[in-house]
Amino acid sequence: MTVYLHTQGCKVNQYESQAMREMLAENGYTVCEFSSTLPDIGKGIILINSCTVTGESDRKLRQFLRRCKRNHPHSILILTGCFSQAFPKEAERLEEVDIVLGNSQRKILPQILDSYFKNPQKIVCVKEHTKEYEHLSIHQFDERTRAFLKIQDGCDCFCSYCIIPFARGRNRFSTLEEIKTEVENLGRAGFKEIVLTGINLTAFGRGQGYDLADAVHVAASVSEIVRVRLGSLEPDDITPTLIEKLKGEPKLCPHFHLSLQSGCDETLKRMRRRYTSKEYKTVCQNLRDAFPGCALTTDVMVGFVGETEDEFNTSFQFVKSIGFSKIHVFPYSIRPGTKAAEEPIQLSNEVKNARARQMIAMGETCQKEFLESLIGNMETILTETTGKDGFTEGFTANYSPVKVKGIYPPNTLLPVIITDVKDLVCIGE
């Protein structure tokens, strides 16, 4: 029986999809990536690992389900992931879906399928998250050069706009031994770069006497691994002590994705973020002092409830002053069940999109300036893809995209000189 896998969302979802792929293969299923050009798959299975971080993710999910049922009317649709966990009632009402599985019990997926085949009635299995960390494992990371490794799940923060704590439960995480075993598996599989990821990665180890730096050292201790990269980080947990511990690791990629959301203190307060713009700037400076030439990237939300024109301009000027190497801009999306969704004054999409365009344009100018600052530098890239134009593309340790003339196999560490920047990509020789 073939399972066609479709994954929405973040690195954690990508990791969990890989784990489900391996689990299903161990149980005799053939697993392949879903493609919209697939001819009717008959009684095949489509497994959707969903995301619900924005209203747009929900819209895309519903559209995907309708298209699946139209093109593959006899297929079995399994909906798992954050949408099914955060909105189980809505998921149950989706006519196209045959099996609804929460994101806290992926391990029972093969059993759930067995019971469905015995009695093909709609199954809804969404359980409350517990304090227990559901440790999945991967040995491969199909079709990728960098392996995402989930080491933490859940979040205790409840930022006022965020649905994730409702979809992912409370903070919980792997042990350092589990991380070592998985990195060894991936090292044996030929991976040179590991990306440690989580829902609130910086909460890793909290209260257990170890922290994110210990996870980095454990991953770096595996000889085949050349680079350890970090997923998204919460600024309030990036303490001078943690930076000092991280500083000692030569394999750590000098690239820090430090989620900001807004550069205006009034807006940060309404978002229930746990730092001020001044404190955020200090963390950036501490990282730059410890890792000269490092790349700082971030997430910025625009059009949050009550964000005035002045507040937006304050945020805009603050973001510009940091000089990020890349900015991900998100127009605020109302998530049912969150504090901010109850707020009466919601901004129009016109205002949100206009502010997003402004922030994106400024972000691209900063990105270009950062990439141009690398011209003349000797960098090592990890090759990923070879384009039709006879160039090979890859990323530097500080996550700058580089194109090099010539055909080089993926997963090759290639020393280059940066000679130019075109279309927000470095050109290397």
Residue 4 vs 161, nearer CB to ligand SF4: 161
Residue 158 vs 188, nearer CB to ligand SF4: 158
Residue 165 vs 254, nearer CB to ligand SF4: 165
Nearest to 34 by CA among 63, 70, 6: 6
The yes or no reply on residue 237 touching ligand SF4 (CB under 6 A) is no
> How far, in Å, CA of 5 to CA of 20, rounded?
9
What's 253-319 look like in SS3? CCEEEECCECCCHHHHHHHCCCCCHHHHHHHHHHHHHHCCCCEEEEEEEECCCCCCHHHHHHHHHHH
- Parallel/antiparallel/unpaired status of strands 255-257 and 123-125: unpaired
Distance of CA 55 to CAs 51, 52, 59, 82, 303, Å? 10, 7, 6, 13, 15
Q: How far is the CB of 200 from ligand SF4 (least distance, A)?
A: 5
The yes or no reply on residue 260 touching ligand SF4 (CB under 6 A) is no
The site for ligand SF4, by CB under 6 A, has a size of: 10
Stretch near ligand SF4 under the rule CB under 6 A, chosen from 24-32, 68-76, 161-169, 397-405: 161-169
The yes or no reply on residue 165 touching ligand SF4 (CB under 6 A) is yes
Strand order from edge to edge, sheet including 295-302: 255-257, 295-302, 326-331
The yes or no reply on residue 157 touching ligand SF4 (CB under 6 A) is yes
Stretch near ligand SF4 under the rule CB under 6 A, chosen from 93-101, 157-165, 175-183, 336-344: 157-165
The yes or no reply on residue 14 touching ligand SF4 (CB under 6 A) is no
Helix ranges, 145-239 (H): 164-168, 176-188, 212-220
Q: How far is the CB of 307 from ligand SF4 (least distance, A)?
A: 17
The yes or no reply on residue 162 touching ligand SF4 (CB under 6 A) is yes
Q: Which residues pair with 300 in a beta bridge?
A: 261, 329
Q: What is the dihedral of CA 317, 318, 323, 326, to 10 degrees?
A: -90
Residue 10 vs 41, nearer CB to ligand SF4: 10
The yes or no reply on residue 300 touching ligand SF4 (CB under 6 A) is no
Q: How far is the CB of 59 from ligand SF4 (least distance, A)?
A: 20
The yes or no reply on residue 234 touching ligand SF4 (CB under 6 A) is yes
Residue 77 vs 199, nearer CB to ligand SF4: 199
Q: How far is the CB of 271 from ligand SF4 (least distance, A)?
A: 8
Residue 200 vs 277, nearer CB to ligand SF4: 200
The yes or no reply on residue 167 touching ligand SF4 (CB under 6 A) is no
Tokens standing for 291? 């890792």
The single residue among 23, 41, 159, 402 that binds ligand SF4, judged by CB under 6 A, is 159
Q: How far is the CB of 180 from ligand SF4 (least distance, A)?
A: 26
**What is the sign of the dihedral through the CA atoms of 85, 87, 93 and 96?**
negative
The yes or no reply on residue 265 touching ligand SF4 (CB under 6 A) is no
Q: How far is the CB of 167 from ligand SF4 (least distance, A)?
A: 9
Residue 86 contacts by C-beta under 8 Å, 6 or more apart in sequence?
52, 163, 166, 167, 337
Q: What is the dihedral of CA 66, 69, 72, 73, to 10 degrees?
A: -150
Residue 165 vs 187, nearer CB to ligand SF4: 165
The yes or no reply on residue 164 touching ligand SF4 (CB under 6 A) is yes
The single residue among 46, 151, 155, 426 that binds ligand SF4, judged by CB under 6 A, is 155
The yes or no reply on residue 200 touching ligand SF4 (CB under 6 A) is yes
The yes or no reply on residue 341 touching ligand SF4 (CB under 6 A) is no
Nearest to 322 by CA among 243, 256, 372: 256
What's 381-413 look like in SS3? EEEEEECCCCEEEEECCCCCEEEEECCCCCCCE
Q: How far is the CB of 372 from ligand SF4 (least distance, A)?
A: 32
277 φ, ψ (degrees, to nearest 5): -65, -35
Residues that bind ligand SF4 (CB under 6 A): 155, 157-159, 162, 164-165, 199-200, 234
